[in-house]
Structure 1
Amino acid sequence: MTETRQPRTVADLTPLARAALGRHRTLSAVTRLRGGSKKGVYRLRLDDGGSAIAYLWTPDEDYWSHSGAAPAADPRDPFSHASGLGLFTAAHDRLAAAGVRTPRLLHVDPEARAAVVEDLTGGSLEEALRRDPDAAAPALDALAESLRALRGCRSAAHGKVAVTAAGGSAYGDSCARLVADRALSDIAETAVRDPRVAAAQERLEDAVRSLAAEARPRAEHVLVHGELGPDHVLLDADGRPALIDIEGLMYFDAEWEHAFLRMRFGPHYAALRADGLDEDRLRLYRLALHLNLVAGPLRLLQGDFPFAESMREIAEHNLAQALDLVKL
């Protein structure tokens, strides 16, 4: 049985808005934006016509934690729950240092576990590509430049930027091993929920182990967003792209980023393609991503996530993709 959640109201968010935007401005309306499964995302509208976006990392706004779907919050695990004000501010600062656009940070409230950022009014890159791919081409090219800037940021350590910035590193000496271990865990978990996975479990596990065996540890890692789909890119008033949902920013293999980009950008990926990627890693990461996009949504559906049908569609699509990759 799921509970009915009450979104934040004007009264709830007025103190945050005043601290971030000035006591002389009055908060007139609050809208909870769709998405935000790990945090609450609210548009704050002001009486003078201005607006801003509030992020709230509170337990009642996190559908993953509420459903028991979130991995343990272990900062040394790159795939642990990428949610929290500390992860956000570390990622924001690192992107700013790299010259990569993200919504401008206006205010941080550690006690409320909240931040306020600028409201970008150009819509998402996903919407722009759907509306007119030719008109969106300059934004896509600018995103490719941002990806090159990220790839130029290198570290011997791998893991979330909040960890590496403090001199730490993620577990293990191989990104590929971490990905393979999570993929095997996703297979085992999903096999008890879907008979199609159970029937293909041995083939899936063999494929993961075989691909992981071809990958060797690396001495350097690059900065990656980790979940960079066109819905995680907003456009400002000048059509320039800005990255959002940045809490998972980490040093990792570039192939991890590009496996996700290829999956999410589809026919538009050609503009973002990079040279010198390891094809074995790409195959492993592509399979692992599909497996996780089955396991994750099925976990989330155990709770009260409000867009259940979209989660089922994601799980079903990615299950078909994973099974197709290992078909005999």
Structure 2
Amino acid sequence: MLRSLSYAVPALVGDGRPARAVRELRGGTRKGVWRVVLADGSRVVAYRWHPDHDRWPAGQGPPDPADPFSPASGPGLFAAAHALLTGAGVRVPALYALEEEGGGGALAVVEDVGPTLEQVMEADPGRAAPVLEHLASVLGVLHGRTHPVFGKVAHVAGGGAPAAASCHEAVLVRALADLEEAARLDARVGAARSALEEELCARAARIGPRPGGYALVHGELGPDHVLVAADGQGALIDFEGLMWFDHEWEHAFLRLRFADHRRLATRPVDAHRMGLYVLALDLSLVAGPLRYLAGRAVSDRGVMAGIAERALGRALASVGCGGGW
């Protein structure tokens, strides 16, 4: 793999010389990520989509594009989201080249922006403060854009319609499926399944129609999905799941990943939607990691198990709380 990228990445950007160095980076669980030092000393980042880099168990079939929560991976989703974000003036790593078909999988070469916001927050909180301010303005731009149809941006741009009648119905369907899977994998969820199902349905029943269209949301925006550039601005990454959706879904995730999430508020949220989405997200963060870990030896087992355990604690604590968040 290292030798392959040493030649494939330079060739894709028009350089016939082999790269000086290739180093794998911690990236997502559905694609490989490497930092590549080219022959002239400049640095780029390479993304490769290939089944060998997808660490999730195989599904029951190809992802359903009409489902906004189907697995978000691949060069098509990446290219569509990158173009939309760039057109909106949102900072993302510059795309230098994209090869959607190749013997070793699809390959993209992008700008090497800098460390993640998560790394900066740990090492230098003072440097992170202006990045968070910039991120708040970026979210304002994203959530200020609306579309009358919800779903993944590539699916909507192609004229596709969602499988569900509303965002909260799509969330409920997914949450019930996550609850079923989590109950199968963890006895504690199984014991509380009926109460959790009732709570989900009760929260969904309180939600009214969505006025004014759907916002542009990243969907998994944590400090590990923001890179910090030399100028102090944040660049979004791992945006293949970009979709038109209720902005409350974004804020449910921000609430989980940022201690001072209220600094990132963009517009008022509907409390009933937040109530459903917070619980649904917790159930997703139980079922997803448990599925990832089931019967497999993985290097990040402790991290994934910790995510599931914390989310399970929050989900169980919510049962009988009357839907408050």
TM-score (norm 2): 0.93
SS at match of 1:120: coil
Pairwise CA distance, 1:325: 1.5
- Superposed CA deviations along residues 220-247 of structure 1, whole A, max 9, x for unmatched, are 1010000000110001111110000000
Q: Is the Cα–Cα contact under 8 Å of residues 18 and 39 in structure 2 kept in the other structure? A: yes
- Is 1:241 aligned with 2:234? yes
Paired with 1:124 and 1:69, the residues of 2 have a C-alpha distance of 30
**CA distance 1:139–1:87, change in 2 (3 Å):** same
Pairwise CA distance, 1:132: 3.3
**1:277 is matched by which residue type in structure 2?**
V
State the partner residue of 1:252.
245
Dislocated runs of 4+, deviation >3 Å: 69-72
Paired with 1:233 and 1:70, the residues of 2 have a C-alpha distance of 32
Pairwise CA distance, 1:72: 4.3
Paired with 2:298 and 2:65, the residues of 1 have a C-alpha distance of 25
State the partner residue of 2:217.
224
Decide which of 137, 141, 153 is 1:149's aligned counterpart. 141
Decide which of 301, 315, 318 is 1:322's aligned counterpart. 315
- Is 1:270 aligned with 2:262? yes
State the partner residue of 2:69.
79
Q: Is the Cα–Cα contact under 8 Å of residues 6 and 21 in structure 2 kept in the other structure? A: no
State the partner residue of 1:286.
278
Pairwise CA distance, 1:327: 4.8
Paired with 2:31 and 2:127, the residues of 1 have a C-alpha distance of 32
- Superposed CA deviations along residues 126-173 of structure 1, whole A, max 9, x for unmatched, are 122223333321110100110010011110000000011112222122
SS at match of 2:149: coil
State the partner residue of 1:3.
none
Pairwise CA distance, 1:324: 1.3
Pairwise CA distance, 1:36: 2.0
Unaligned runs of 5+ in 1: 1-7
Paired with 1:254 and 1:200, the residues of 2 have a C-alpha distance of 29
Q: Which piece of structure 1 moves more, 164-173 or 144-153?
A: 164-173
Paired with 2:229 and 2:14, the residues of 1 have a C-alpha distance of 23
SS at match of 2:258: helix
- Superposed CA RMSD in Å reads 1.6
Q: Is the Cα–Cα contact under 8 Å of residues 160 and 251 in structure 1 kept in the other structure? A: yes
Q: Which piece of structure 1 moves more, 178-187 or 268-277?
A: 268-277
Decide which of 16, 20, 44 is 1:28's aligned counterpart. 20
**CA distance 1:129–1:81, change in 2 (3 Å):** same
Unaligned runs of 5+ in 2: none
Paired with 2:117 and 2:272, the residues of 1 have a C-alpha distance of 29
Pairwise CA distance, 1:16: 2.3
Paired with 1:79 and 1:237, the residues of 2 have a C-alpha distance of 34
State the partner residue of 2:132.
140
- Tell me the percent identity: 48
Q: Which piece of structure 1 moves more, 308-317 or 12-21?
A: 12-21
TM-score (norm 1): 0.92
State the partner residue of 1:182.
174
Paired with 1:24 and 1:319, the residues of 2 have a C-alpha distance of 51
Tell me the number of residue pairs that the alignment of Structure 1 and Structure 2 aligns: 316
Q: Is the Cα–Cα contact under 8 Å of residues 44 and 53 in structure 1 kept in the other structure? A: yes
- Is 1:17 aligned with 2:34? no
SS at match of 1:63: coil
SS at match of 1:117: strand
Pairwise CA distance, 1:37: 0.4
Paired with 1:72 and 1:216, the residues of 2 have a C-alpha distance of 32
Q: Which piece of structure 1 moves more, 300-309 or 203-212?
A: 300-309
**CA distance 1:84–1:44, change in 2 (3 Å):** same
